[in-house]
Amino acid sequence: MAVHLQGLYGTLEERVDVKTRSLEEKNRQLEIVYDMAAFLRQPQDVDALCRGFLQRVQQMFGAAASSARLLDRDSRQLCMTVHAGLDNAFIDREATLECGECVCGQAARGGISLICDIERPDTTPDLGVCRRAGFKLVSATPIGANQQTLGIYNLYFREARPLGDSDRQLLETLGQQLGIAIENQRLHASDRELAVSEERNLLARELHDSIAQGLAFMNLQVQMLDDALRHNDANQAQATLAMLRQGVQESYDDVRELLVHFRTRVAKQDLPGAIGAALRRLADQSGIATELELEGGGAPLDAEVETQALYILQEALSNVRKHAQAKSVHVALRRGVHGLTLVVRDDGVGFDEGARSAREKENHIGLQVMRERALRIGGKFSLSSTPGRGTEVRLEFPRLNQEPN
């Protein structure tokens, strides 16, 4: 019985040691995964993500070199993006690989991690390039996200060493983390490109509503001037020159206004100051009397929302200067717990929105620009006008983070 108990104790101690080592290994892997996740959450481009990732993984596993290859979806080739510890001859030969070629292509095509001992005679596929570079062991692990393979990453070892199932699982987990980070970075880049494209479209429409119409007017005046000169009509030529001079000045004013418009940003917590500056410019340019009414308080909205609100206000004031024939304009800015309201009211000639022709609506693109800007930032745009009684533009921007009722 004593011998039997001694055997049980020995077995128990061995089992405890095995379990302890297993827990220590799992804790080490969890720490690696958490540290890598923290790094990949930092804002950086794809190359910086891959470079920092490889540096950490290479150090973790004691590899002599590493590389990351991203999959070109059009050509279906693996293109080496970032590398460390590889010579130029190796890089030139391995710069691009077909999906399915070598261990890297097989890992990408199959979506599984492959570990190849180069010294084994039955090693497939042929890894002659890696052997000539002095490597004894190579791993190829997919970089994936959303069930799609984005590429693979490699670790190269000078000496053969055991990489078990737990190592393989850790490599695959890290590859998935890198894939998600790359995919998020690509989505953010697409969002930025879309935002730039939308801003360019808005700019093009504002140019159409100002500079393009001014140039069309001057082109017509040049034709009239040419006709007057051919007929030696000095009076008509002088009158046409005066119109051309006026058109050039108006176009110059429009260009300056657009430059101010797109350079303007709202300083933190100073939307009222920016509105006041815009009203002073309007008064200086046109002599129109201006008034600013401020009501309520509360924290400002998101900086981009307030900047877009300022752009909409500038467009509204530009319409007042060009079309309203107004003597005064009143701007009201109201803040509250529910958001921000901006109202621009003038005493100009007004118009009948329902009676305007399709051509008139097309030529007055500024209103459409304001609507689109408001929609982009989650605002509500409304306009009311009566012939002979002026026009009112109203913008409402709710707080997106307010508690539901």
pLDDT digits (tens, 9 = 90+) for 242-287: 888 887 887 777 777 667 656 555 554 578 888 998 898 888 878 8
Q: Is residue 249 part of a domain?
A: no
Pick the more confident residue, 253 or 88. Answer: 88
106 & 174 share domain: yes
For residue range 164-183, list pLDDT tens digits in order. 888 888 899 999 999 999 99
For residue range 131-153, list pLDDT tens digits in order. 888 899 999 999 988 888 899 99
In CATH, what number is assigned to the domain containing residue 164? 3.30.450.40
Give the model's pLDDT for residue 403: 42
For residue range 233-242, list pLDDT tens digits in order. 989 889 889 8
pLDDT at 125 over 70: no
Q: Is residue 250 part of a domain?
A: no
Q: Is residue 195 part of a domain?
A: no
Give the model's pLDDT for residue 10: 63
pLDDT at 155 over 90: yes
CA 185 to CA 145: how far, in whole Å?
A: 12
18 & 138 share domain: no
CA 324 to CA 223: how far, in whole Å?
A: 29
270 & 396 share domain: yes
Q: Is residue 310 part of a domain?
A: yes
75 & 180 share domain: yes
Are the C-beta atoms of residues 185 and 46 closer than 8 Å to each other? Answer: yes
62 & 146 share domain: yes
In CATH, what number is assigned to the domain containing residue 303? 3.30.565.10
At a CB cut-off of 8 Å and minimum separation 6, what does 115 contact?
137, 138, 139, 140, 163, 168
43 & 10 share domain: no
CA 227 to CA 153: how far, in whole Å?
A: 73
User: Among 27-36, 78-87, 177-186, 385-394, where is mean pLDDT lowest?
Assistant: 27-36
pLDDT at 363 over 50: no
Query: In 3-state terms, what secondary structure has residue 45?
Result: coil
Give the model's pLDDT for residue 162: 81
| Domain housing 273 | 266-405
23 & 157 share domain: no
Regarding beta strands 328-336 and 289-295, do their DSSP bridges make them parallel or antiparallel, or are they unpaired?
parallel
Give the model's pLDDT for residue 120: 74
DSSP 259-321: HHHHH--PPTT-HHHHHHHHHHHHHHHH--EEEEEEE-------HHHHHHHHHHHHHHHHHII
Average pLDDT, the chain: 81
* Residue finishing a domain among 188, 210, 240: 188
User: Among 14-28, 100-114, 300-314, 375-389, where is mean pLDDT lowest?
Assistant: 14-28
Average pLDDT for 41-51: 86
Give the model's pLDDT for residue 97: 84
Give the model's pLDDT for residue 314: 83
pTM comes to 0.53
Distances (CA, A) of 327 to 177, 204, 279, 288, 294: 62, 30, 13, 5, 21
174 & 41 share domain: yes
Q: Which two tokens stand for residue 115?
A: 């570990």
Number of independent structural domains in the chain: 3
Q: Which helix (H) or strand (E) holds 66?
A: strand 65-72
Q: Is residue 251 part of a domain?
A: no
Are the C-beta atoms of residues 316 and 338 closer than 8 Å to each other? Answer: no
Q: How would you class 24 by CB atoms within 10 Å of its CB: exposed for 0-12, middle for 13-18, buried for 19 or more? A: exposed
